[in-house]
Amino acid sequence: MTNVGIVLVSHSLELVKGLEELLNQIKQSVPIAIAGGTDENEIGTDVFKIKQAIQSVYSEKGVAVLFDLGSALINAELALEMLDDTKYIKIADAPLVEGAYAAVVQSGIGGTLVEVIGSAEETKNLQKIIR
């Protein structure tokens, strides 16, 4: 894979399914994987789902993980600990929707993992309405 992989983690499977659909319009060759809900697809997060999602888009180009709330971060960090080579995996401190959109764009134009994470995190300061 030549583009940074993107992993979307949410408490809701439907939420990341929808987000993936939205991103498919612009993704081109960017690998995207989702980890939503518990192992029974109820509201929550699941460390093994996250681990699997990361592995499914993994390459040395890197993987950027975006998450929604609370335990999503705890489980994403735990998933990283379970994986051996985490040099190329980073978690973005960013809002899920805007961050993922920016990350996919940056990855699509061939950005490095650091650039992809940077673009995602910049959306924290995005002003959506100019008043």
Ligand X SMILES: Nc1ncnc2c1ncn2[C@@H]1O[C@H](COP(=O)(O)OP(=O)(O)OP(=O)(O)O)[C@@H](O)[C@H]1O
Catalytic residue among 3, 4, 5, 11: 11
Residue 17: exposed, middle, or buried by beta-carbon count in 10 A (0-12, 13-18, 19+)?
middle
Exactly one of 78, 88, 97, 98 binds other proteins (CB under 8 A); that residue is: 78
Which of 1, 18, 44, 56 is in the footprint of other proteins by CB under 8 A? 44
- Considering beta carbons, is residue 76 or 113 the nearer one to ligand X? 76
Q: Which among 3, 16, 126 is positioned nearest to 66, based on CA atoms?
A: 16
DSSP SS3 for 8: strand
Is position 28 annotated as part of the catalytic site?
Answer: no
Least gap, CB of 29 to ligand X (angstroms): 33
CA distance 108 to 48: 27
44 binds ligand X (CB under 6 A): yes
